[in-house]
Amino acid sequence: MLEKIKELICNYVEADPADITENSRFIEDLGFNSYDFISMLGDLEEEFGVTIDETEITDVHTVGEAVKYLSDLKERQ
């Protein structure tokens, strides 16, 4: 899952997948703006077959948090 998320991230910002870690923060480290982040959420929903709750995703700031959120979400749905 981490590798697929890294691929999706690189569709939105210029980053080397090798430099993206679970501790990478979307805004501060990777340079996401809010529009990019929301757009990526749609890709994540499609890729992983889940429906993301936008109120829950506000607590996701790092790549690792996104991986955990999506893993938990897949188990719930």
Give DSSP secondary structure letters for 24-53: -BTTTTT---HHHHHHHHHHHHHHHT----
Question: Looking at residues 61-74, what average pLDDT do you find?
Answer: 96
Higher-pLDDT residue of 35, 54:
35
In this predicted structure, the answer to whether residue 16 has a pLDDT above a threshold of 90 is yes
Of the chain, the percentage scoring pLDDT greater than 90 comes to: 87
Which pLDDT score is estimated for 54? 85
Q: What is the pTM of this model?
A: 0.90
